[in-house]
Structure 1
């Protein structure tokens, strides 16, 4: 999740499993079993929610964190790989024609 953009369909399926487990402890759940909407459950506790993490937002944040680390010059394996493969993060190709990275 921290290095690739997870497809929205996968996140939706995973969220359905999380909701079902959270509200009913089962594989599926109906709307009648849910005490509050999932959007409200994903709000922070200080805002009246339950503090459940939104996976789509978390994926975006982790990708932004990886991008930030690449541009700040930290000595991570990711930055070393970018430097070895492309000469650095700013020299990375704009298209995916050279691979899925």
Structure 2
């Protein structure tokens, strides 16, 4: 749910980087700290590694900045076809 709601908005909008950082912060907190305060010591794996594909050793969680860019490029490509 924490990834699908921003994805819906990113299909047509370019979300501010600050908002994407806050969403990522919430997703990291959910993954590592649940209800506690998130600190660097609780994070078990680098976030870039977590966002990589399962085949590459990650958890397959999407990097929202890259995914939003890909969604917007899709609209650009569809307008040419």
Bigger radius of gyration: 1
Q: TM-score range by the shorter chain?
A: 0.7 to 0.9
1:55 shift after superposition: 0.3
| TM-score normalised per structure 1 | 0.66
Alpha-carbon contact 1:17-1:27 (below 8 Å) kept = no
| TM-score normalised per structure 2 | 0.81
Q: Give the counterpart of 2:51 among 27, 38, 42.
A: 42
Unaligned stretches of 5+ residues in structure 1 = 73-101
Q: How many residues align?
A: 72
- Name 1:89's counterpart in structure 2: none
- The structure with higher relative contact order (CA 8 Å, sep 6+) is 2
Structure 1 ranges of 4+ moved more than 4 A:
none
Unaligned stretches of 5+ residues in structure 2 = 1-9
RMSD: 1.3
Deviations, residues 38-70 of structure 1 (Å, cap 9, x unaligned): 111011111111111000011000001111111
1:65 aligns with 2:74: yes
